[in-house]
Structure 1
Amino acid sequence: MTNGPDLFSSDGPDQGLPGPGVGGSSADSGRALDPLAVRMRPRTIAEVVGQDHLTFPGSPLVQLVEASGGDRAGASSVILWGPPGVGKTTLAHVISHAPGRTFVELSAITAGVKDVRQVIENARRERDMYQRTTVLFLDEIHRFSKAQQDALLPAVENRLVVLVAATTENPSFSVISPLLSRSLLLTLRPLDDAAIADLLDRAVVSERGLAGQFELEPAAKDFIVRIAGADARRSLTILEAAAGIAAAQAEFAEAAASDDSVVDTDDDTDADDDDVADEGIEDPTESEDSADTDDSETSPAEGRAILITEAACAEASSETVLRYDKNGDQHYDVVSAFIKSIRGSDVDAALHYLARMIVAGEDPRFIARRVVISAAEDIGMADPQALPIAVAASTAVQNIGMPEGRIPLAEAVTYLAMAPKSNASYRALDAAIADVKNGFSGQVPTHLRDAHYPGAKELGHGEGYKYSHDHPHGVAAQEYLPETLRGKRYYEPTGNGMERSLGERLEMLQRLLRP
């Protein structure tokens, strides 16, 4: 799986055994070495958190989970759409646990049409020989080509397999329509802070988790909730790493205390020798009891939970990983918010989304292109300087690259966000294009036609044309639009910025053109 172990899936009855390293108890099975996020996977749909809109009693998902392998009612295939760490893989495993089902998992990154056909053939054998239904979990289905997705259609349509496909991308754009129409689309929501906090609390006390050997201070929990970005898997990964750091620090502190005790004992040996000679040999039983008492006070492993601090969590997380796939939904969401913030004149929001794109490694040339488009589309003639500034920023990015290229980008974004806004030119052109497409073209007026070639005058081309510079204000009273569009107005300037004065000039021009 490309996203690492999924928090919410379960592979079998011995999944969830705690590991011997950090929390939990030692176990013979290799499952004991699984990461905390794997050990804490929900095993039933009732344990899944944060998706109440999908897991309520009687929901299509619950019906699919509770149906037996031979049940023909309800949805046969589902597409799970949501960000990483919200439980897509979990639900696939939970669905597969119904009686009479066999679970098969493929990754769209490594699997091809041949692999899909092999699964379908095996599924047919399972059905015919053992009356078992195959649950095919296909991770990252958006990476499958059209041909690969087409190979799934017959098996899905005939219910030869129960397809559970997971994707972080919008299925409307990444899954072929025939497959989408044959599947139940379930949108998984990002986990809220309360759900992440609940998972952390469970992991600290559960025998499958840290087994009560650690205590998570409130500030540390708040830090993990904030840094995890609604990703349950990431939150438990940080918790496990922080527990390891806390355990190592506690062990080091215990060893240091023990060394200090040995030094103190050596320093006092000479003085103690005289006391021993006078008082005799100490009762061995009493000595052992004393030693046990000392250990219980200094060893964090003996009945005392190790405190996981915010500092340990910060060290464990080291750096926030932005959720931003340059080919995915998050990419387009951030870009959309960026453009809309400029259009909405919120300079701080625009700079925030610019920063997110830069930190995530977005191609600065892509950002520059979007800035140029925004200048033309959203500022337009309300501030004609916006476009040259945007183009200059784009040129600067091309010439100097990053990281310095961020500076002209910031200047351009700041200017555009604070500039007066108008899309009047943009709307005017779209209206003109609509007329042309709808057949409102008409003939070019004769007096405007090309008259430079031999024989043009005999056709009347150019006859009656008035040279604008020979008239007052450089405007000649004549018709320029085709006859079918005479008097048509496309450009309607706003009252924003420079367009206020342009509107006044437009009215004057109309009076001169059509007295």
Structure 2
Amino acid sequence: MSTLADILRPKSLDEFLGQSHLLGKNSILKNAINNDSIRSMILFGPSGTGKTTLAEIIANKTNSNFIRMNATTAKTADVREAINGAKVSKDLEKKKTLVAIDELHRFPKNIQDLLLPHVENQTLILIGITTQNPFHSVNHALISRSIIFEFKPLSKKDMLQVIKKTIQYYKDKNVGIDKKSAQYLLSMSGGDARRIITAIEFIVESGNEINIDTCKQVMPTKFSTIDKDTAIYDGLSALQGSIQASDVDGAIFWLGQIINTNGDIESVCRRLLVTASEDVGCCNPIALIHTYAAVKSALIVGLPEAKIILSSATAYLAMNPRSKAAHDAINKSIKLDLSEDIRIPNWLRDCHYEGCEQLGHGKYMDGQNIDIYTKFPVKLFEPVNGDEIDLMKGNEKLWNSR
């Protein structure tokens, strides 16, 4: 028996909601579908945003053979069968074969590799569908042979149309929805059309009215806008970016999203330590000590209380002055090392072995014989803010006194 989400699935581009950045007027993807000139592509983005629906629309419009499979159930033999069938169609019928693979990221590397040469020579036209960023989960060689299209969560305007279409389906049952309930579903769905349709279907089919109470029962928690599998990348990036922008509220919001999505406080702790050094650095040397103390405390305490400690550390970092001087200095040094032939001078070489004196190694040992020390010829660390400016002034005064 089909679910209501399948029954209400758009059958044409005219019915399709959302993704105007991909399917707007005269867009490349829309023209390719209408002209039946599809090339291998990967559709990625959150659940309930239309990826599988678009694949179904392509299947309805194309004159090519169309094969559907799901990477969670398909085996190597299924893929080989699809490849062999596509070869026959190409050689005998001069006909293309489109293969739509749901959950593409679930295929192990050996199966993704199996697809590779046949995507390369266009025996198969791949339509990969995944909720995960393909650059983290799909064979890079397969990515290079495909066009990547990113799907976004549906807007509230589009989601409102989904609600109206779902309510319209139940018109014979005199089903309605009040504004408060509709707004609640919109705010809790995270732009996932399937989630809203499924919630309304469950309420109605179980013999209940759609009101704020029943909506809260079927959708008690907000659907996170961060996917569990990508929180480690996108969520942490949003956290650090907000700290860099001195956006205290934004940083704490993204911290909460990460914790709420997968509870991975270890990754948060590592990122906060990096941020304390990379974005605050020497302009407030205490920031790293403060953050380290918070991180250790959070790991000892654990959730749920750890979120309070991490919130405090996040706010503290976001309110600090900024300096990337240490970050920039080490990157300059690495580039310099790769481009210049700079060798360790004899007087700085290891001298903890018998015979080092004969080689002239280590004469500047434990800070002795300061007169033989020559300052490094390239300026790498450029102080820009806070304590590091005063510290550098002191350092320069020391050198000037020698």
What is the TM-score normalised by the length of structure 1? 0.70
Higher deviation after alignment, 105-114 or 378-387 = 105-114
Matching residue within 152, 155, 161 for 2:124: 161
1:36 maps to 2:1: no
Mapped contact 1:113–1:148 kept (Cα < 8 A): yes
CA offset digits 1:70-124 (Å, max 9, x no partner): xxxx333322122211111111111112364444322222323322101222344
CA contact (8 A) 2:208 2:214 kept: no
In the alignment, structure 1 residue 85 sits paired with structure 2 residue 42: no
> Is 1:204–1:211's contact at 8 Å kept on the other side of the alignment?
no
2:333 maps to which residue?
Answer: 432
Q: 2:257 aligns with which of 353, 356, 360?
A: 356
Letter of the 1:186 counterpart: F
Residue of 490, 497, 505 corresponding to 2:380:
490
Counterpart in the other structure of 2:204: 243
> How far is the alpha carbon of 1:196 from its aligned partner?
0.8
Could you tell me whether the CA contact under 8 Å between 2:322 and 2:385 is conserved in 1? Answer: no
Residues 451 and 81 of structure 1: is their aligned pair in 2 closer, same or farther, counting only changes over 3 Å? closer
How far off is 1:499 after superposition?
1.9
Counterpart of 1:511? 400
Matched residues in 2 for 1:410 and 1:99: separation?
A: 52
Q: Quick one: distance in 2 between partners of 1:466 and 1:376?
A: 29
Between the two proteins, what is the percent identity of the paired residues? 32
Residue 391 (structure 1) aligned with residue 292 (structure 2): yes
C-alpha contact 1:135 1:163 (8 A) present in aligned 2: yes
Unaligned runs of 5+ in 1: 1-29, 69-73, 250-307, 471-475
1:203 maps to 166
User: Deviations along 1:214-256, whole A, 9 cap, x unmatched?
Assistant: 12212222221111111111121222233346x435xxxxxxx
SS in 2 for 1:490: coil
SS in 1 for 2:262: coil
The answer to whether the 8 A contact 2:116-2:142 is kept is: yes
Q: Is the 8 A contact 1:77 1:183 kept in 2?
A: yes
**Alpha carbons of structure 1 residues 327 and 181: separation in structure 2 relative to 1, 3 Å:** same
Question: Which of residues 114, 134, 156 in structure 2 aligns to 1:151?
Answer: 114
Pairing 1:176-195 to 2, within 5 Å after superposition: 176-195=139-158
The separation in 2 between residues aligned to 1:40 and 1:460, in whole angstroms, is: 83
Give the drift of 1:376: 1.5
Read off the aligned partner of 1:121 and give its amino acid letter. Answer: N
Q: Which of 479, 482, 485 is the matching residue for 2:373?
A: 479
Superposed, 1:53-68 pairs within 5 Å as 53-56=21-24, 59-67=27-35
- Determine the C-alpha separation between the residues in 2 that align with 1:340 and 1:410: 15
Write out per-residue CA displacement over residues 476-515 of structure 1, whole angstroms, 9 at most, x where no aligned residue. 555344xxx53x322222232x2232132122123124xx
Secondary structure of the structure 2 residue equivalent to 1:83: coil
Q: Which residue of 2 aligns with 1:222?
A: 183
Q: Which residue among 208, 217, 233 is the counterpart of 1:315?
A: 217
Distance in 2, Cα, partners of 1:98 & 1:458: 83
Counterpart CA distance in 1 for 2:18 and 2:374 is 63
- Residue 403 of structure 1, CA deviation: 2.1
Q: Aligned residue for 1:287? A: none
Cα separation, 2, equivalents of 1:172 and 1:455: 53
Provide the rounded CA distance (Å) in 2 between the counterparts of 1:126 and 1:461.
74
> In 2, Cα distance between the equivalents of 1:180 and 1:454?
57
Q: Tell me the residue number matched to 2:267.
A: 366
Aligned residue in 1 for 2:193: 232
Which of residues 180, 203, 227 in structure 2 aligns to 1:325? Answer: 227
CA distance in structure 1 between the partners assigned to 2:115 and 2:372 by the alignment: 66
Q: How many aligned positions are there?
A: 402
- The counterpart of 1:51, out of the listed 7, 19, 25, is 19
How far residue 428 of structure 1 moved from its aligned partner, in angstroms, is 1.8
Contact 2:280 2:320 in 1 (8 A): yes
Q: Distance in 1 between matches of 2:66 and 2:31?
A: 18
Farther off after superposition, 122-131 or 313-322: 122-131
Matches within 5 A, 1:274-353: 308-328=210-230, 330-353=231-254
Contact 2:59-2:66 within 8 A present in 1 as well: yes
Q: CA deviation at 1:163?
A: 2.1
State the Cα distance separating 1:131 from its structure 2 match. Answer: 7.2
Alpha-carbon separation, structure 1, partners of 2:352 and 2:200:
81
Question: What amino acid does structure 1 have at the position aligned with 2:384?
Answer: T
Report if aligned partners of 1:368, 1:394 keep a CA contact under 8 Å in 2: yes
Match of 1:421 in 2: 322
Q: 1:335 to 1:152 in 2, by over 3 A?
A: same
1:122 aligns with 2:11: no
Contact kept in structure 1, 2:40 and 2:146, CA below 8 Å: yes
The letter for the 2-side match of 1:428 is A
SS in 2 for 1:185: strand
Distance in 2, matches of 1:125 and 1:458, equals 77
Deviation at 1:336, TM superposition (A): 0.5
Rg bigger for which structure?
A: 1
Distance 1:124 1:504, change over 3 A: closer
1:215 counterpart SS class: coil
What letter is aligned with 1:38?
D
In structure 1, distance between residues paired with 2:202 and 2:366: 80
Give the corresponding residue for 1:297. none
Deviations 1:241-297 (A, max 9, x none): 33346x435xxxxxxxxxxxxxxxxxxxxxxxxxxxxxxxxxxxxxxxxxxxxxxxx
Kept in 2, the 8 Å contact 1:358–1:364? The answer is: yes
Conservation of the 8 A alpha-carbon contact between 2:325 and 2:383: yes
Q: Aligned partner of 2:19: which letter? A: Q
Code of the residue aligned with 1:179 in structure 2: it is L
| Aligned-partner SS, 1:216 | coil
Q: Contact 2:226–2:234 (CA<8 Å) still a contact in 1?
A: no
